[in-house]
């Protein structure tokens, strides 16, 4: 946490409400996001218990697994989830724009321009917390290797038709969420935490209710008190008034409410199955009652979180969007389009573990994305730039003097010396390369020359002034102008050129074996 961020948290403690950490919104927020609030069964990996899902805040769809250990019920849940999510996810696949991209011609080996499709927009999934993002990944992993009856007529316990496809999409969303600055799948706690500093720690900010209590406390109540209530307040039975945002449930809820309701449901189901004809209708009604009770119970745990996510959406919408957000969203659209193409081409699901080249490519892409995000956020937001200036990675000030100088080359090029007065203390050494955003969006390079007296500092412009001896209008700052130079690159370069997976060298085990991933074995142990 930067000192400016620490200070903001302390201001929040003093003010009793959150303080801004950003002056603009740094993530894309879709006009119509899909909100997904899942709950999971304690003690078991990827065993869903229930969820609210949908794009309309007033009409979430409730999905419930009445007996979380029953494989068939779990499949029914996942089928319903696919039914709720896939139409939304796939809806963006058909409206496309055409973009030109350089691709290597397989015959000549040259880079040639080709026209490719780019989806005009992409779906956006919002979950309450970082744990929710992980859960999306886990659900994706648990589903994508399932076999449907169509794929494999002999598969024991075949999965409903669209479940493996949803697994592949959720896996893609989960992987994309690891790319810094991406917005296909976002956690509301992280979104809010990026933009506001609360009077508590980042760890406590993972509690969506407490985080919102600081950002938008109920009238008259200090944020700290509201957050404490959101975190800990319990009713007479010991149940949390504000249920956790999941996917984990409150153990007290499990023991006092959920377990009896599941037991009741199990009993009703057994009775309905074994009921004598004259008891049949009554037993069915008892089962329906038990089912309804369970649904209501889970809805009671899910609905507050659902509302909280939408509350967060409102708060974020009030922030103006950062200037580079659309550019990063376009990369998300590329990512979505790419996966759409892989699905349409009938490629197999993502493997369990990446091969060496894929892992290295992903890591390089994420590192480039991180550097790009850091640069763009600073350029878009003076509050972020302030932290970079404090860290000695940028400096800003008023130009005091400009001295025109020229290169010695045959065609002399302008190399003006610009002196500015600044209170910043950049960590620069002689000859260090500097960058400045020009009003037209281009970047101008310069090099550090020397510190001067009275907090002044001189740099030499080395580019961005056009082709002639006379610099383009507006490309050289004038005395009195306020300018900001950064030590970091505004458009960081990508990682190394990596070989194709088939060319994986001996140091990394050679080319990976081309074996199709087997489905997870189905065992009797799936049901306890």
Partner 1 sequence: MDKAALARALGSPATFGQSQFAFVRGHAFEARVKADGGTELVRLLHARLAGAAAAAPPPGPDDVRIPDLTAAGPEGRTARTALALREATAAGRWTLLDHPLLAMDVAGTPAYLEPDAVVVHPDGSWTVVEIKSFAMVDGSADAAKVGAAARQAAVYALALEPLAGRVASGATVRHEVLLVCPKDFSNVPDAALVDIRKQLATTRRQLGRLTGVADIAAALPEGTSFDLCLADDGRTPRRPSGELAEALDAVAPAYAPECLAACELAFHCRARARAEGSVQTLGRGARAELGGLTTIESVLAAAAGEAGDPDDPAVAALRRAAALRAEALAPCGAEPVPAARKELPCH
Partner 2 sequence: MTVRMAPGRAFDPAGAAAAATDAILRDTLHSPHRGVVVDSPPGAGKSTLVVRAARELAAAGRPLMIVAQTNAQVDDLVLRLAEQDPGLPVGRLHSSDRHPYDPALDAFDHVVPSARVAELAGLDVVVSTAAKWAHTKVAEPWGHAIVDEAYQMRSDALLAVAGLFERALFVGDPGQLDPFSVVGAEQWAGLSYDPSASAVSTLLAHNPDLPQHRLPVSWRLPASAAPLVSDAFYPYTPFRSGTGHGERRMAFAVASDGSGPDRVLDEAAGTGWGLLELPARHTPRTDPEAVGAVALVVRRLLDRGGAVTSERSPDPVPLTADRVAVGTAHRDQAAAVRAALAGLGVDPGPGGVTVDTANRLQGREFDVTVVLHPLSGRPDATAFHLETGRLCVLASRHRHACIVVCRAGVDRLLDEHPSTDPVQLGVTVKFPDGWEANHAVLAHLAEHRVAWRP
Shortest distance, position 374 Cβ to partner 2, whole Å:
9
Choosing from 112, 505, 517, 527, the residue that interacts with partner 2 (CB under 8 A) is 505
Interface segment toward partner 2; rule CB under 8 A; list 22-30, 186-194, 309-317, 357-365: 357-365
Residues between 368 and 387 with contacts to partner 2, criterion CB under 8 A: 369-371
CB contact burial 433-451 (16+ within 10 A = b; e otherwise): ebbbbeeeeebbbbebbee
Q: Half-sphere exposure of residue 492, counting CA atoms within 13 Å on the CB side?
A: 19
Taking the least distance from each CB to partner 1, the nearer of 124 and 206 is 206
In angstroms, rounded to a whole number, what is the distance separating the alpha carbons of residues 400 and 418? 8
- For residue 369, give the nearest of 324, 421, 409, 420 by alpha carbon: 324
Residue 357's binding partner out of partner 1, partner 2, none, with CB under 5 to 8 Å set by partner kind: partner 2
Taking the least distance from each CB to partner 1, the nearer of 253 and 329 is 253
Choosing from 239, 360, 386, 402, the residue that interacts with partner 1 (CB under 8 A) is 386
- What DSSP character marks residue 57? T
User: Residue 92 corresponds to which tokens in the numbers above?
Assistant: 């963006």
Count of positions on this chain that bind partner 1 (CB under 8 A): 74
Shortest distance, position 178 Cβ to partner 2, whole Å:
7
Choosing from 61, 508, 522, 526, the residue that interacts with partner 2 (CB under 8 A) is 508
Interacting residues of 147 by C-beta distance below 8 A, sequence separation 6+: 155, 158, 159, 164, 519
Residue 392's binding partner out of partner 2, partner 1, none, with CB under 5 to 8 Å set by partner kind: partner 2
User: Residue 136 corresponds to which tokens in the numbers above?
Assistant: 């999306």
- For residue 244, give the nearest of 69, 61, 403, 42 by alpha carbon: 42
What binding mask, one character per residue, do residues 443-482 give for partner 2 by CB under 8 A, x or -?
----x-----------------------------------
Interface segment toward partner 2; rule CB under 8 A; list 48-56, 138-146, 254-262, 508-516: 508-516
Residues between 130 and 189 with contacts to partner 1, criterion CB under 8 A: 138, 141-142
Q: Can you point out the beta strands (E) in 239-318?
A: none
In angstroms, rounded to a whole number, what is the distance separating the alpha carbons of residues 197 and 209? 15
Choosing from 83, 90, 117, 204, the residue that interacts with partner 1 (CB under 8 A) is 204
In angstroms, rounded to a whole number, what is the distance separating the alpha carbons of residues 100 and 85? 31
For position 514 contacting partner 1 by CB under 8 A, the verdict is no
Choosing from 317, 442, 469, 481, the residue that interacts with partner 1 (CB under 8 A) is 317
For position 311 contacting partner 1 by CB under 8 A, the verdict is yes
3-state helix, strand and coil shares in percent for the chain, rounded to the nearest 5: 40, 20, 40
In angstroms, rounded to a whole number, what is the distance separating the alpha carbons of residues 304 and 302? 6
- Strand 417-421 relative to strand 433-437, pairing: unpaired
Taking the least distance from each CB to partner 2, the nearer of 360 and 386 is 360
Interface segment toward partner 2; rule CB under 8 A; list 99-107, 339-347, 366-374, 402-410: 366-374
Q: Are 205 and 213 in contact (CB under 8 A)?
A: no
Taking the least distance from each CB to partner 1, the nearer of 507 and 523 is 523
- Interface with partner 2 (CB under 8 A): 178, 180, 353-354, 356-357, 359-360, 362-364, 366-367, 369-371, 392, 427, 431, 433, 447, 495-499, 503-510
């Amino acid at each position: 946490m930067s000192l400016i961020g620490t200070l903001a948290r302390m201001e929040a403690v003093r003010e009793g409400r959150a303080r801004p950490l950003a002056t603009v919104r740094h993530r894309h927020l879709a006009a119509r996001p899909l909100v997904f609030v899942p709950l999971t069964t304690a003690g078991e990996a990827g065993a869903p218990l229930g969820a609210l899902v949908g794009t309309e805040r007033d009409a979430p769809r409730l999905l419930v697994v009445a007996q979380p250990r029953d494989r068939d019920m779990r499949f029914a849940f996942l089928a319903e989830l696919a039914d709720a999510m896939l139409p939304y996810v796939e809806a963006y696949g058909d409206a496309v724009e055409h973009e030109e991209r350089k691709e290597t011609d397989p015959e000549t080996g040259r880079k040639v321009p080709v026209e490719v499709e780019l989806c005009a927009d992409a779906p956006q999934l919002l979950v309450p917390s970082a744990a929710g993002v992980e859960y999306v990944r886990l659900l994706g992993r648990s589903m994508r290797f399932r076999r449907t009856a169509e794929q494999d007529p002999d598969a024991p316990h075949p999965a409903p038709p669209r479940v493996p496809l949803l697994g592949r999409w959720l896996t893609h969303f989960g992987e994309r969420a690891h790319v810094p600055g991406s917005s296909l799948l976002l956690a509301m706690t992280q979104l809010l935490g990026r933009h506001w500093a609360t009077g508590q720690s980042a760890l406590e900010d993972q509690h969506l209710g407490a985080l919102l209590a600081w950002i938008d406390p109920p009238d008259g109540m200090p944020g700290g008190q509201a957050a404490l209530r959101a975190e800990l307040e319990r009713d007479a039975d010991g149940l949390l008034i504000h249920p956790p945002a999941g996917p984990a449930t409150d153990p007290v809820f499990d023991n006092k409410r959920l377990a009896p309701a599941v037991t009741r449901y199990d009993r009703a189901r057994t009775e309905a199955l074994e009921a004598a004809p004259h008891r049949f209708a009554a037993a069915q009604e008892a089962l329906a009652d038990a089912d309804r009770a369970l649904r209501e119970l889970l809805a009671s745990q899910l609905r507050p979180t659902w509302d909280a996510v939408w509350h967060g959406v409102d708060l974020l919408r009030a922030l103006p969007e950062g200037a580079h957000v659309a550019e990063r969203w376009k990369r998300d659209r590329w990512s979505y389009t790419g996966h759409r193409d892989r699905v349409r081409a009938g490629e197999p699901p993502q493997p369990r573990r990446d091969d060496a080249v894929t892992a290295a490519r992903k890591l390089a892409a994420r590192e480039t994305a991180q550097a790009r995000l850091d640069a763009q956020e600073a350029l878009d937001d003076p509050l972020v730039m302030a932290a970079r200036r404090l860290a000695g990675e940028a400096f800003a000030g008023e130009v005091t003097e400009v001295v025109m100088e020229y290169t010695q080359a045959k065609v002399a090029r302008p190399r003006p010396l610009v002196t500015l007065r600044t209170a910043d203390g950049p960590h620069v050494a002689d000859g260090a390369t500097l960058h400045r955003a020009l009003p037209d969006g281009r970047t101008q390079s310069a090099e550090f020359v020397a510190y001067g007296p009275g907090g002044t500092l001189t740099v030499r412009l080395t580019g961005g002034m056009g082709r002639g001896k006379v610099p383009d209008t507006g490309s050289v700052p004038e005395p009195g102008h306020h300018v900001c130079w950064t030590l970091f690159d505004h458009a960081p370069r990508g990682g190394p050129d990596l070989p194709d997976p088939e060319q994986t060298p001996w140091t990394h085990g050679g080319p990976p074996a081309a074996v199709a991933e087997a489905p997870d074995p189905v065992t009797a142990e799936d049901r306890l």
